[in-house]
Amino acid sequence: MQDNQTEKCFKICLENDCSIEDKHRYLEELAVYLKNALKDTEDTLIECQERNRFFSQSIARLQQECEAKDALVIELQNEIDKFRQIVKPLTQVFWQQHQSQLTYKHRRIKRQGCSAEPLINLQEAEVRLLRTLKSSKSRDLIKSAILDNDFMKNLDIAQIQEIVDCMYPVKYAAKSLIIKEGDVGSIVYVMEALLAFISLAKLTMVAGCLNKIPWVRDFLCGRSL
């Protein structure tokens, strides 16, 4: 509206044959108006640029958050897959063990009734396991190595926990021969430096005397758990 008024006044001034002083005054007013309009336009442009910069930064931040959340989702999915690999056979293994225990107890009761033999305290017959303190990082490394192994990932949680508790650190000199491919052994090795785990099927990699644990000894010998 103000633009039209300014243009109208300027035209009227020209049409009415205004004096040179009036024309000069109108031109000065028009110049001031145009300068103010240009300044307002520049201020609006700067404000739009600031908003654009803010929105660009917000979009970049949201993209980073989305990427981080996507990575977290993938990590959690991998953990869920590992957990399912343990839980899936867990019910079956637990049921088989439970049935075996019931059958064993039933047979012991029958034998006790026939021969009047005293009950054996099974707890005294259990092997005392030597557990070694270790950092959370080492425990997570050992557990992750077991869960990544196709042969040992089917163990139940308690058995994996026993392996993690009983493993102890061993250092070897450079170029030492620890095990040879194709050999059969009863020791589990987890190399912390290389974060590597070799399958028990061919190379059994460093858990200490795991063969002292009854179920581990049976597991390594190929017997059913």
Note whether 208 and 167 are within 8 A (CB). yes
Domain edges within the chain: 1-96, 129-220
Write down the pLDDT at residue 116: 42
Write down the pLDDT at residue 50: 93
Write down the pLDDT at residue 203: 36
Write down the pLDDT at residue 208: 42
Note whether 130 and 166 are within 8 A (CB). yes
Write down the pLDDT at residue 199: 38
Write down the pLDDT at residue 138: 85
Can you give the three-state secondary structure of 75-126, one letter per residue?
A: HHHHHHHHHHHHHHHHHHHHHHHHHHHHHHHHHHHHHHHHHCCCCCCHHHHC
Nearest to 188 by CA among 176, 202, 174: 202
Strand partners, 79: none
The angle at the Cα of 84, spanning 79 to 85, to the nearest 5 degrees, equals 100
Give the predicted TM-score (pTM) of the model: 0.34
pLDDT tens for the chain, 225 residues long, are: 445 555 555 555 555 566 777 777 878 888 888 889 999 999 999 999 999 999 999 999 999 999 999 999 998 888 887 777 766 666 666 666 656 666 655 555 444 444 444 444 444 444 566 788 888 888 888 888 888 877 777 888 888 888 888 888 887 787 777 777 766 666 777 876 544 443 333 333 333 444 445 554 554 444 443
* 196: helix, strand or coil: strand
Could you give the CA distance from residue 49 to residue 188 in angstroms, rounded to a whole number?
A: 63
Could you give the CA distance from residue 60 to residue 80 in angstroms, rounded to a whole number?
A: 30
